[in-house]
Structure 1
Amino acid sequence: MRILHTADLHLGRMFEGISLEADQAAILDQIRAAVREHKTDVLVIAGDIFDRAVPPASAVRMFNSFLSRIVQETDAAIVMIAGNHDSADRIESMAILPDRARVLVRGAVRADEEPLILLDEAGPVAFSALPFAYEHAAQECFGDTNITTPHDVLAAQAVAARETVPEGARWVVLAHAFVAGGEVGDTERPLTRVGGIETVPSEVFSGAHYVALGHLHRPQQVGAPHIRYSGAPLAYGFDEAGGQKSMTLVDLDGAGKVSIETLPFRPIRDVRILRGKFTELLQNPPSEDFIKVVLTDEALVIDGMKRLREVFPNACKLTYERRDRATETKALAARPSAVADPVEVVNNFLSEVRGEGVSPPEVEILADALRRIAKEEARQ
């Protein structure tokens, strides 16, 4: 049986205030094309379909259209779950999709976790969809007040699901969790309250032949080759710049062994970090990519962000390498640092807040204000 595994679509999300609607529409088109091209039997989406519980109407329409085309244009079954960014009720409502024999949607946790059973030439394959749930919801669902951690939640779900798997069937599990050993990035939202332990051991999936995970945004295996994150299809932070995003194509044989191939996504805009002298960077070809610029210039560049955006309209951040070095040095130094130049302090503040440093007229205003302050202090 051939499975296409993806997760963490985060539809409706923005990148540094810039809409990603076109980028995400292109990703959904690539998933749909992969389902057709690779003759996929099952499409699995392991949570965080939307970026927030109440997503923009345009994101909902986009996803509904995507599902409809998968159903109409392919024979693939669909299995999907809610993640921690999703509204469980909203995802659960999608269970009204036609043809229950090929669709399994789980938004809310349940104690009677019935799988979707699909058949291939080797026999049955059971798909268990374990949606993300917080501890209080799992306590109510399972009637167990001892459920106090994400591990407890997922362990209770796994036990309930395991009991409904037919004897001799191969077992595929979907879950949205932080499995111990996974590499986390800067854009994943914590799955527990401050101070809680959010990781779960991979052993909780004992008996499963493939585990399709969501939550961590980098494609990776954890614990064993058959326990895998597909990763998010787009980079949502500059910590992911240069990383290859992919969906996971899984072939499950009659004995339950899996072979895995990653299919790269082709984003319409990349996330990049450019480093160098200001005048040199301006010579780069124009680009719509999301750009973070790290300048190696010693002197501050006036209107740097404004001028950069003439070449890179989606430039999002501007920093100075020497300032970053100074910050690191100050953090490590045992002795007090020198008093900062007031103009540079204001320049740094404005660069962070509005993306541009002080302009020449603003420098004059600052200088005049500093002169007045100096005169007042001299009188005292």
Structure 2
Amino acid sequence: MKILHLGDLHIGKKVNGYSMIEDQKYVFEQMYKLIEDKGIETVLIAGDIYDRSIPSEEATELLDQLLSNLINKYKVKVIAISGNHDSSTRLDFSSKILEKQGLYIVGEYKKLVNKVSIDEVDFYLMPYVDPTIIRRKYKDILEERDLKISTHDDTMKFLTDEIKKDMNTNKVNIALYHGFVVGGGDSAEEIEKEDSVKILSVGGKEAVKEDYFLDFDYTALGHLHGCRRVKSEKVRYSGSPIKYSFSEVNQDKKFLIIDISKDKLSIDDTNMIKQKYEMVELTGTLDEVMAADIPKDAYLKVILTEQTLDAMNKLRVKYSQVMELQINIATEKAIKRKYTSQEINKKNPVILFKELAESVGVILEENEGKVLEKVIDGLIGGRS
């Protein structure tokens, strides 16, 4: 079976106020061509289908268009789970009716094992779920087995153990899961996570061991936005198809194709996704940034190393899509100046103000300094 593994579509997402709807349409057109060219039979979507639990009208229309094209026009089966950005209840709506059309979506855990069988392949669907929901919903089973669930790792061990009880090892078994999976010996803190990826649980309790998935022939993961394997070749993130933050600027976005049978697993991660607009980060003076050889319509983050009045408007004379602007001026001297509260009270306020101005790259000229002295003298005189 030839499978396209997708995840983290985030349909309807806005990045720094810019809608990604047109970018998503642009990527989906590439996907349709790939499905035809490569003979894809099944598409997996490993969560975060929408960017918000209550999607916009535009986002809903785009998902409807996407699924209609995949199922009706390109005749592929679609198997999807909800992610932490989705509303599990909304995605579950009409799911039983849609199965007859070849669309299988699981948003909520209405049963412990959610299996979809297509030909000789069994798909096990494990959408994102908070441990408290499983703990409450299956309280009697947990008490009967004397099991305690407090973390995502506890939850996934419980759910995968349940699956493995009746898993047919003579068939191809594929898992779909949305969460943060860590390989043996890896540190969860050291794994690259993008700025646009929400933390699932505070205190480092969001990580799930890869070990629970090693009995599956392939595991399609969603949540992290880079296309990567965990530790095993058969446990993988497809990544998001679009760059959704500047922390993803150096990531190559790819369509991940899996060709699988019981005695074969072939993974093709060479299908690059062209972005509608490049995402670029520039650092330097205003002149240096303005002279950069980049597309004028790139999604741009600028870090200026000098104080510049009306910088954003000056940048937009050349660049049409400046998403972020930061001023980052070296303040080594200012950092070294450390005064106690008593020392500050004794310090000449004019000097303090000048030091503050210098720390953000503004040097007061002589006449400005004299005006400042008069203003401060007037304030101090009025107070006394």
TM-score range, shorter chain: 0.7 to 0.9
- Output aligned runs, 1:29-68, within 5 Å: 29-68=29-68
Instruction: Give 1:361's aligned residue.
Output: none
Classify the secondary structure of the residue corresponding to 1:140: helix
Q: Confirm or deny that 1:91 pairs with 2:96.
A: no
Query: Offset of 1:106 from its aligned partner?
Result: 0.6
Task: Confirm or deny: 8 A CA contact 1:115 1:165 kept in the other structure.
Answer: no
Q: What amino acid does structure 2 have at the position aligned with 1:377?
A: I
CA gap 1:140/1:11 in 2 versus in 1, 3 angstroms:
same
1:184-215 Cα distance to aligned partner (Å, 9 max, x none): 122211111x3251101100113101110000
1:131-168 Cα distance to aligned partner (Å, 9 max, x none): 11001211133323721101112222212333343341
Task: Confirm or deny: 8 A CA contact 2:256 2:267 kept in the other structure.
Answer: no
Query: Offset of 1:103 from its aligned partner?
Result: 3.1
1:76-116 Cα distance to aligned partner (Å, 9 max, x none): 21110000010001111252454538332110024342421
Instruction: Give 1:225's aligned residue.
Output: 233
1:251-309 Cα distance to aligned partner (Å, 9 max, x none): 11331533332421111112111123312432446622211112344xx2221111101
Larger mean CA deviation between 262-271 and 161-170 belongs to 161-170
2-structure distance, mates of 1:8, 1:59 = 14
Classify the secondary structure of the residue corresponding to 1:190: coil
Larger mean CA deviation between 45-54 and 252-261 belongs to 252-261
- The runs of at least 4 consecutive aligned structure 1 residues that moved more than 6 Å come to 345-348, 366-370
Instruction: Give 2:345's aligned residue.
Output: none
1-structure distance, mates of 2:218, 2:39 = 19
1-structure distance, mates of 2:243, 2:261 = 32
Equivalenced residues, count? 354
CA gap 1:327/1:67 in 2 versus in 1, 3 angstroms:
farther
- Output aligned runs, 1:23-172, within 5 Å: 23-93=23-93, 95-96=95-96, 98-100=98-100, 102-119=102-119, 124-143=120-139, 144=142, 146-172=148-174
Instruction: Give 2:259's aligned residue.
Output: 251
Instruction: Give 1:10's aligned residue.
Output: 10
Q: What amino acid does structure 2 have at the position aligned with 1:291?
A: L
2-structure distance, mates of 1:167, 1:375 = 86
2-structure distance, mates of 1:42, 1:295 = 47
Q: Confirm or deny that 1:271 pairs with 2:274.
A: no
The CA RMSD measured in Å over matched residues stands at 3.0
CA gap 1:344/1:240 in 2 versus in 1, 3 angstroms:
farther
1-structure distance, mates of 2:371, 2:334 = 32
Instruction: Give 1:351's aligned residue.
Output: none
1-structure distance, mates of 2:135, 2:373 = 61
5+ long unaligned stretches in structure 2:
341-350, 363-367
5+ long unaligned stretches in structure 1:
349-356, 358-363
TM-score w.r.t. the length of structure 2 is 0.83
Instruction: Give 2:348's aligned residue.
Output: none
CA gap 1:49/1:5 in 2 versus in 1, 3 angstroms:
same
2-structure distance, mates of 1:149, 1:9 = 26
Query: Percent identity of the aligned residues?
Result: 24
Q: What amino acid does structure 2 have at the position aligned with 1:61?
A: E
Task: Confirm or deny: 8 A CA contact 2:278 2:295 kept in the other structure.
Answer: no
Q: What amino acid does structure 2 have at the position aligned with 1:177?
A: G
